[in-house]
A and B are shown apart, each in its own frame.
Chain A
Amino acid sequence: MDIPASLRYARTHEWTSELEADVMTVGITDFAQDQLGDVVYVELPEEGARVAAGDAVAVVESVKTASDIYAPVAGTVKAVNADLESAPEAINEEPYGGGWLFRIAPDDASDREALLDADAYRAVCEEES
């Protein structure tokens, strides 16, 4: 189970990258993609959408279930990964790379600090396994 130390995590299994030019990238974790199984479809938020922390903003559908993806912080959606439309399996193959979901400009950059670090998130996964 891959849990990169550089990322921050939500209890609901989203990861967030460090801020680059006031924008962070969001995806789902290796643990989450493994739990879902083969991802076959992704519904992404609209660019420009204003979201609150905890809002359901995307859906990742696998062969066995459909899962809501929650915004880890409040902010504005700046970009979405359009490649997933034709290749949703990237989420299984590279959850921390080509499988990213969207980019968000947080209203308050310090919100990211409230998320879990890698060790805390690992504990969450172990609880759920």
Chain B
Amino acid sequence: MRYTPHTAEDVRAALDAIGVDDVQALFADVPADLLDPPLDLPAPADEATLLRHVRDLAARTDARSPSFLGGGVRAHFTPSVTKHLAMQSEFVTAYTPYQAEVAQGVLQTTFEFQTMMSELTGLPVSNASMYDGASAVAEAALLALRATKRRRVVVSRGVHPQAREVLATYLAPLDVTVDVVDLDGDHATPVPADLSDAAAWIVQSPNHLGTVEPFPPHVRAAHEAGALAVAVADPLSLAVLQSPGDAGADVAVGDGQTLGVPPQFGGPHFGYMVVTERLLRQLPGRLVGETRDVDGRRGYVLTLQAREQHIRRGKAKSNICSNHQLAAGMATINLAALGPAGLRDLAEGSVRNAHALADRLRQEGYDVATGNRPFFAEFPVRVPRDPREVRRDLHAAGVRAGVPVPDEYGLGSAILLAATESTSDADVDALVAALARVAPAAEVPA
């Protein structure tokens, strides 16, 4: 198909047809200083110069020093095959398959993704992925509002602060109350006394401080109040922890980065959403189904599309009209390469190393604030100074660590530390040495 842009004559004819003098007039409503702002760019460069410049920039990216960064984003081991297969042009260049059924490979990848997410979460119906964990949490709240016809959402403070911000943004235009339930002294979510009229009770495990939250009591409380139980879970943790489905949750959502997507400076990742059969028609986003053609051959289709914008317009279940295919596909390949036992190895290795790190820091005299509760791969440690400064100085000392614990958790100055299956003794030694210089345990206020 040839792409022929419109000619000056075409533009003139279109302008005349609508009675406008020039194209600029179409933008009259946009403030002039926003329309064509001067760009603060250096002079143009030739290709060789530009390549050198970009290489210099790339060389400044520190991907070699040991990393203990967490906050729900961790670089777990991925078999080499993951990246190589995921970077096949068939995956990388495929934009939204507008004639989806023509793209059987894309649909089958998504179908496999849905199957794996369903197995991990213990719930039957997964969509094709969401933008990220935060938007998945917000969409879960919208789903619950639709399904229960209630106007109140209750969320644990243990849910990632950024996810709660996105939730607030999504719900701001709606006449909906959002109540936040504080964590108890053990960094765990108490079962709320009042879930009456709640559409959803949203709890995250492991929560933002790394604490493992048992879902069943929360599910019971939600169901007694007629609310949906929404479980936010790090999917890697589900290799070793009870799944939301087994705990009776109605909806499982979360960020899928830990399943083999590089941290990528915080994104793009992908989100996942898996629901009970009963909520099937409330599920936002794409859904791939397996079927048979007239000759009985297996094929994949987008199914239940009547929920979606291109058919239902104003009454669509959601504004999401896409998914994070590349990142979700990467996770699918990664899960297939690792297999269930491999995934469990990563999860168990992360738990082991995170606990060894916590013990080591305690020996070094640090206040490791795990709240006497089980934790998965991350935990908070109190530091003697502003955690942002500590993070900066640790990095200068050759260790990437120190996601600040937000003030809302009341831990004073504290950082989150995360370990993975790949954390080595040498990494831990480097961290301990750097901490001793940058944030000595003796200086942490009691």
Listed in ascending order, the chain A residues whose CB lies under 8 Å from chain B are: 40-41, 46, 59, 61-66, 68
Contact = CB atoms under 8 A, between A and B. Distances in A.
B281 interface: yes
A59 B146 CA distance: 14
Contacts of A59: 315
Nearest to B311: A65
Nearest to B149: A46
Interface on chain A toward B: helix, strand, loop, or mixed SS? strand
B315 A62 contact: no
B310 to A, nearest CB: 11
Contact of B315 (A40, A41, A66): A66
Contacts of B307: 66
Contacts, number: 19
Contacts of B311: 64-66
Nearest to A41: B281
B315 A61 contact: no
Nearest to B280: A41
User: Which 9 pairs, one residue from A and one from B, show the smallest C-beta to C-beta distance?
Assistant: A66-B306, A61-B306, A66-B312, A65-B311, A41-B281, A65-B306, A66-B311, A66-B315, A62-B306
Contacts of A66: 306-307, 311-312, 315
Given A61-B306, A62-B306, A68 B281 contact: no
Interface residues of B, number: 7
A65 B312 CA distance: 7
Contacts of B312: 66
Contacts of A46: 149
19 contacts: A40-B306, A41-B281, A41-B306, A46-B149, A59-B315, A61-B281, A61-B306, A62-B306, A63-B306, A64-B306, A64-B311, A65-B306, A65-B311, A66-B306, A66-B307, A66-B311, A66-B312, A66-B315, A68-B315
A41 B317 CA distance: 14
Interface in B370-424: none
Contacts of A62: 306
Contacts of B315: 59, 66, 68
B311 to A, nearest CB: 6
Q: Which of B306, B307, B311, B315 has the most CB of A within 10 A?
A: B306
Contacts of B306: 40-41, 61-66
A66 B281 CA distance: 12
Interface in B92-150: 149
Interface string B6-50: 000000000000000000000000000000000000000000000
B312 to A, nearest CB: 5
A1 B18 CA distance: 45
A44 to B, nearest CB: 13
A70 B306 CA distance: 19
A46 B311 CA distance: 25
A123 B315 CA distance: 30
B308 to A, nearest CB: 9
Given A62-B306, A66-B315, 10 more contacts: A46-B149, A59-B315, A61-B281, A63-B306, A64-B306, A64-B311, A65-B306, A66-B307, A66-B312, A68-B315
Contacts of A40: 306
A41 B281 CA distance: 9
A6 B426 CA distance: 86
Contacts of A41: 281, 306
Interface in B235-287: 281
A7 B403 CA distance: 69
B145 to A, nearest CB: 15
